[in-house]
Amino acid sequence: MAGALSLSQLSVFGSLSLPKRVTRRAVSVRAASETSPSTSNSVSTTDSPASSSTFAPPTDFKPPEPQRFAVRPDKTNEVFGAALPLLLRFGTGTFASGYSFSFVPKDEFPPDQYGLEVSGYKVKETARLGPRPEKPIEIYEFESCPFCRKVREMVAVLDIDVLYYPCPRNGPNFRPKVAQMGGKQLFPYMVDPNTGVSMYESDEIIKYLAEKYGDGSVPLTLSLGLFTTLTAGLGMLGRMGKGSSYTPAKLPPEPLKLWAYEGSPFCKLVREVLVELELPYLQITCSRGSPKRKILLEKTGHFQVPYLEDPNTGIAMFESAEIIEYLRTTYALQ
């Protein structure tokens, strides 16, 4: 086996240590309080059209077969636009903390593990992860917000699962709930049901997550203040505000489940539509180096993201373009 290369050795992925005590503006809430979202992963609203709606996949719908490294011709420009943040953010949100890789001869590589194949070798990827939250972190945000992107990048670095509540402009469900819980509509807004802590401010959320579910350090690319925010914002230009405004939709009783990570442009395209339709979803984060890549491989026989599971219809599927069409057909109000 060849020697392993760790990205922590590269300057762009360096980190800054945080002090043991972090000062932050936080509002303590009980995880089971009436104003907080349910920790049972069910969705509850008082004025949503979902309560009287039924959910079923489109007639004669058949999930597509996964096509690795393929881009549908009519989606090429969208994929390139969605990839712009990856370049401007130096790949932050792609690799889990402590990521390293090595090349292993194909015949020596465990058959039940995920690994890219390169010229007779397979790439073994690993990471050094911190404590895992017992319950998913809950984050209220929207896709085209640069401050929200910073937090999503940290989620990918820590490889933690998050229950996202999309808050597009004019969204009737979760924007008002944030104002109810925290007193103002400011995003991102995080609730940790494991500790009863909630807070605004992206930098404070990042520090909190690093201390609680990492080794206490924040990657250099998330520690550069205004430069971090500017590059996160400039990366949004390729999609021209997609994932920010509400499209009337039916709110499902159960959150969807999306296997994804921040660095993938294909995942970004799907998240944009989830936000626009205001569909809550549990993200199973599987950054490069994540052990959850093996879990998805065992579950489906493939590793490819995004992978959507919809408990409201029983549909599970790969392929971002088809996932987007499915979401709009199933949930958008005609």
For the segment 200-245, what is each residue's pLDDT rounded down to a tens digit? 999 999 999 999 999 999 999 999 999 999 999 999 999 999 999 9
CA neighbours closer than 13 Å in the CB half-sphere of residue 157: 30
pLDDT in the model for residue 117:
86
Helix or strand (DSSP H, E) at 309: strand 307-310
Q: Is 84 exposed, middle or buried (0-12, 13-18, 19+ CB in 10 A)?
A: middle
In one-letter notation, the amino acid at residue 172 is P
Name which of 210, 195, 100, 196 is nearest 150 in CA terms: 210
Judge whether 144 lies within some domain.
Answer: yes
pLDDT in the model for residue 9:
40
Q: Which residue has the tokens 């050094």?
A: 128
Judge whether 265 lies within some domain.
Answer: yes
Name which of 45, 276, 40 is nearest 173 in CA terms: 45
Judge whether 3 lies within some domain.
Answer: no
Judge whether 107 lies within some domain.
Answer: no
Judge whether 54 lies within some domain.
Answer: no
pLDDT in the model for residue 59:
85
pLDDT in the model for residue 75:
94
pLDDT in the model for residue 5:
44
Judge whether 11 lies within some domain.
Answer: no
What CATH number does residue 264 fall under? 3.40.30.10
pLDDT in the model for residue 12:
35
170: which residues sit within 8 A by CB, 6+ positions away?
Answer: 245, 246
Judge whether 274 lies within some domain.
Answer: yes
Give me the long-range contacts of 211-215 (CB less than 8 A, separation at least 24): 211/18, 211/22, 212/131, 212/133, 213/130, 213/131, 213/132, 213/133, 213/158, 213/160, 214/97, 214/130, 214/157, 214/158, 215/97, 215/128, 215/130
Judge whether 208 lies within some domain.
Answer: yes
User: Mean pLDDT by 10-residue block, N- to C-terminus, for the chain (334 residues)?
Assistant: 44 37 36 37 55 75 88 94 96 97 92 86 94 98 97 98 98 97 97 98 98 97 97 95 96 97 98 98 97 95 95 97 96 89
Number of structural domains (the chain) is 1
Q: Check: CB of residue 235 under 8 Å from CB of residue 89.
A: yes
Which domain covers residue 240, as residue numbers? 64-97+130-331
